[in-house]
A and B are shown apart, each in its own frame.
Chain A
Amino acid sequence: MIYNAFTVLLNAGPTVMLPVIMFIIGLIFGVKPAKAFRSGLTIGIGFAGIKLIIGLLASNLGPAAQAMVKNFGLKLDVLDIGWGAIAAITWSSPIIPILIFAILLTNIIMLILKKTNTLDVDIWNYHHMAIVGVMTYFVTKNIALGIAATVTMGIVTFKMSDWSEHLVSGYFELPGVSLPTVSALSSLIIAVPLNWLMDKIPGINKITFEAKHAKKYLGLFGEPMIMGLILGGVIGALAKYDITKILNVAVNMAAVMVLIPKMTSLFMEGLMPISEAAKKFTKKKFKGRKFLIGLDAAVVVGSSEVITTSLIVIPLTIALAVFLPGNRVLPFADLAVVPFRIALVVALTDGNILKNIIIGLACTGAILLAGTNTATDMTNLAKASGIDLSLAAGALISSFAATSLTLSFIVYKVFTGNVFITLPLFIAAFIGIWVYIEVIKKKPQIDEAKEVNIAE
């Protein structure tokens, strides 16, 4: 009986499975049944909506991208469908309940062992860590590897949140907060060494220029509907469509840019009661202890330096996509979330605009290449999750999230490669960095503080 019911649900696909799974997760966290049911259904509606929009995007952009390949040899046939769609695919995976609890448990255990100070109950952003496990499981068919990949993402994310806390409290003036949002943290892997390197070049810190007018001239790159309209029009023109068709693609792409976030916010709305319940539960558990509260990096991307840098980096990223050898990703939906990939870079360089642009482009370049590399796996996973890509004219899909992010890409490659070689290497490197930051680097800092005291 129970088995039969389960088979019926499984055969019904993610649109049905998702509300059921979220209802059960809600109940486990102690959300009242009526509320949990509504939450689950809201999330299911969000998923149905995202599926529709991706259909609109793929059927417009897919054939146009293929035509661009034919007309100009512009091989940008991997469509950037945006992180919201990726999050939807992640949340609809059959192993998602296990992964969510694995991440939460990893956080709680690390807190108990005092290996992290970040309390991360921002359940919403767990999808960044979960997708690596979902994809690993999808490719290897090994559930243990999938869970291990997600737990690894968790451990690294919580540590990086701790390590970057000074940027959040210092530059963004938000004390007591850290940002376990992979889409923001991941850039630090490239940004920290590059920033260190650029500091070695004499005079680079002295080069500053005014970017005040960026908002005036590049403001449209901050408005998704206008950006969608223009990009759609340009792509339609490059596809050598007639004018009616160009206008159609343009308006449809503006619609996609505006509608994807609306659908995604349904997801967030449905998840909120679960997130709040988890917050209450963990706060009770660790009463009296001082934490860094893990928040969505959305709280820092409003800083005007981040906005200015993003407005410059967004058009440059589009240009980069065309010229970067090996790239096949056509940047689109996720251009709207470039500020997340830039935010911590801006804090790291202390707002040096030249460094921000160079490092920012290095980060988006890495995202494009990793996105190209993992596009086939992502496309197969999306199809298995019931996303209809039949009208996409054979184009693949990707995004600026999931395994396109540098950190997620590395962990994904570690767990889908020859784990007997890659895993020890990864662990050695991670522990090396851990020791460097928490043991070696800490000491001279104390000395410096002393010196300052003496000097005073």
Chain B
Amino acid sequence: MKKVLVACGNGIATSTVVAIKIREICEEQGVQVMVSQCKLLEVESKVSDYDLLVTTGKFDASDIDIKVIGAISLLTGVGEEETLDEIVKVLK
């Protein structure tokens, strides 16, 4: 099972929206996944345990070794499906 870390400013608001959407799409597509949330400030100390990092908004990912996907589209609704497709592809 793949593990996803969803990070936003406070690890509460936007990351919850994104985490729920990832869980829903994965359930639909039959992909087994574990989704956790955290603050962007905590990413560096936590990210090594995960397969995919999804962030909402501007984030400097140059120090991150795993695949990073920006998911602001899941908040604005513009380009939402493409982003979800990209996430599912990584997790399959």
Tell me whether A84 and B40 are in contact (CB under 8 A): no
Give Cα A222 to B9, complex, Å.
11
The residues of A that contact B72 with a CB separation of less than 8 Å are 174, 177, 295, 299
* Cβ-based interface call for A386 (8 A): no
Tell me whether B9 and A301 are in contact (CB under 8 A): yes
Tell me whether A297 and B12 are in contact (CB under 8 A): no
* Cβ-based interface call for A120 (8 A): no
Tell me whether A176 and B37 are in contact (CB under 8 A): no
Tell me whether B58 and A296 are in contact (CB under 8 A): no
Binding site of B, secondary structure by majority: helix, strand, loop or mixed?
mixed
The residues of A that contact B78 with a CB separation of less than 8 Å are 176, 293
Other-chain residue from B12, B14, B39, B56 in contact with A264 (beta carbon distance below 8 A):
B12
A: interface residue count bin: 35 or more
Q: A176-B78, A295-B75 are in contact. Are A307 and B41 (CB under 8 A)?
A: yes
The residues of A that contact B39 with a CB separation of less than 8 Å are 222, 224, 261, 336
Tell me whether A302 and B17 are in contact (CB under 8 A): no
Binding site of A, secondary structure by majority: helix, strand, loop or mixed?
helix
Interface string of B10-45 (1 = CB under 8 A from A): 111111110010000000000000000101111011
Smallest CB separation, B18 vs chain A (Å) = 10
The residues of B that contact A261 with a CB separation of less than 8 Å are 10-12, 39
Smallest CB separation, B53 vs chain A (Å) = 11
Tell me whether A173 and B58 are in contact (CB under 8 A): yes
Query: Interface stretch among A19-27, A89-97, A243-251, A265-273?
Result: A265-273
* Cβ-based interface call for A194 (8 A): no
CB nearest to B57 among chain A residues:
A299
* Cβ-based interface call for A332 (8 A): no
Other-chain residue from B9, B12, B40 in contact with A265 (beta carbon distance below 8 A):
B12
CB nearest to B77 among chain A residues:
A279
CB nearest to A125 among chain B residues:
B13
The residues of A that contact B13 with a CB separation of less than 8 Å are 124-125, 268, 296, 298
Give Cα A451 to B43, complex, Å.
46
Tell me whether A222 and B41 are in contact (CB under 8 A): yes
Smallest CB separation, A31 vs chain B (Å) = 14
Tell me whether B56 and A299 are in contact (CB under 8 A): yes
Tell me whether A222 and B57 are in contact (CB under 8 A): no
* Cβ-based interface call for A441 (8 A): no
B: interface residue count bin: 20 to 34
The residues of B that contact A222 with a CB separation of less than 8 Å are 39, 41-42
The residues of A that contact B15 with a CB separation of less than 8 Å are 265, 298
Give Cα A219 to B63, complex, Å.
15
Tell me whether B10 and A336 are in contact (CB under 8 A): yes
* Cβ-based interface call for A339 (8 A): yes
Tell me whether A84 and B12 are in contact (CB under 8 A): yes
Smallest CB separation, B59 vs chain A (Å) = 4
Q: A124-B13, A299-B72 are in contact. Are A172 and B77 (CB under 8 A)?
A: no
Interface string of B53-73 (1 = CB under 8 A from A): 001111110000000000010
Interface string of A285-313 (1 = CB under 8 A from B): 00000000101111111111001001000
Tell me whether A302 and B40 are in contact (CB under 8 A): yes
Q: A272-B16, A296-B13, A301-B9 are in contact. Are A172 and B57 (CB under 8 A)?
A: yes
The residues of B that contact A339 with a CB separation of less than 8 Å are 9, 41
Tell me whether B76 and A177 are in contact (CB under 8 A): yes
Smallest CB separation, A395 vs chain B (Å) = 25
CB nearest to A304 among chain B residues:
B60
Smallest CB separation, A223 vs chain B (Å) = 6
Q: A176-B78, A224-B39, A265-B37 are in contact. Are A299 and B12 (CB under 8 A)?
A: no
Q: List 11 A-B contacts (CB under 8 A).
A: A222-B41, A265-B37, A295-B76, A296-B9, A296-B14, A299-B14, A300-B57, A302-B59, A310-B41, A339-B9, A340-B10
| Residues of B bordering A, CB below 8 Å | 7-17, 20, 37, 39-42, 44-45, 55-60, 72, 75-78
| Residues of A bordering B, CB below 8 Å | 84, 124-125, 172-174, 176-177, 219, 222-224, 261, 264-265, 268-269, 272, 275, 279, 283, 293, 295-304, 307, 310, 336-337, 339-340
Q: What are the 6 tightest A-B residue pairs by CB atom distance, in nearest-first order?
A: A299-B57, A298-B9, A222-B41, A301-B9, A302-B40, A268-B16
